[in-house]
A = this chain, B = another copy of it.
Amino acid sequence: MSMATGALLPSKPLTPSVNHRRLFPGRPTITISGPPTTTSLSLPLRSSPDYWASANADIQAHLERAIQIRHPLAVSEPMRHLTFSAPETTAPALCLLACELVGGSRDQAVAAGSALRLVHAAASAHEGLLSSRPRTDGPNFGPNIELLTGDGLTPFGFELLARSEPDHSNPTTRAESSSRVLRAIIEIARASGSHGMVEARYNEIEMIDGSGGDDEEWVERVCKKKEGEIHACAGACGAILGGGGEEEIERLRRYGVYVGMIRGIVAAKRVGRGGRRWLERKVGELRELGLNELKGFNREKVEPIASLMLTSEHDRRLRMTD
- A148 nearest in chain B by CB position: B198
A119 within 8 A of B: yes
A8 within 8 A of B: yes
A36 within 8 A of B: no
- A162 nearest in chain B by CB position: B185
Contacts of A79 in B (CB 8 A): 194
Produce 1/0 per residue, A246-281, CB < 8 A to B: 000000000000000000000000000000000000
Complex Cα distance A8/B15, Å? 6
A74 within 8 A of B: yes
Contacts of A203 in B (CB 8 A): 72
A165 within 8 A of B: yes
A302 within 8 A of B: no
Complex Cα distance A175/B72, Å? 37
Produce 1/0 per residue, A69-86, CB < 8 A to B: 010101110010000000
Complex Cα distance A171/B210, Å? 54
Q: Are A147 and B171 touching (Cβ within 8 A)?
A: no
A322 within 8 A of B: no
Q: Are B172 and A144 touching (Cβ within 8 A)?
A: no
Q: Which of A165, A183, A202 has the most CB of B within 10 A?
A: A202
Chain A: how many interface residues by the 8 Å CB criterion?
68
Contacts of A158 in B (CB 8 A): 155, 158, 185, 189
Produce 1/0 per residue, A117-133, CB < 8 A to B: 00100110010011000
Could you tell me which residues of chain A, from 77 to 127, have a CB within 8 Å of some CB in chain B? 79, 119, 122-123, 126
Contacts of A123 in B (CB 8 A): 151
Contacts of A202 in B (CB 8 A): 5, 72, 74-75, 148
A143 within 8 A of B: yes
Contacts of A15 in B (CB 8 A): 8-9, 144
Produce 1/0 per residue, A167-191, CB < 8 A to B: 0000110110011011101101110
A34 nearest CB across to chain B (Å): 39
- Of B16, B153, B171, B193, which contacts A159 at CB under 8 A? B193
Q: Given A8-B209, A155-B192, are A147 and B174 neighbors across the interface (CB < 8 Å)?
A: no
- Of B18, B154, B199, which contacts A155 at CB under 8 A? B154
Complex Cα distance A208/B8, Å? 10
A19 nearest CB across to chain B (Å): 12
A224 nearest CB across to chain B (Å): 15
A4 nearest CB across to chain B (Å): 5
A307 within 8 A of B: no
Q: List 11 A-B contacts (CB under 8 A).
A: A8-B15, A9-B130, A14-B144, A72-B202, A74-B206, A122-B151, A158-B185, A159-B190, A165-B179, A171-B174, A182-B182
CB-based closest 7 A-B pairs:
A152-B194, A178-B178, A159-B189, A155-B193, A175-B175, A155-B189, A162-B185
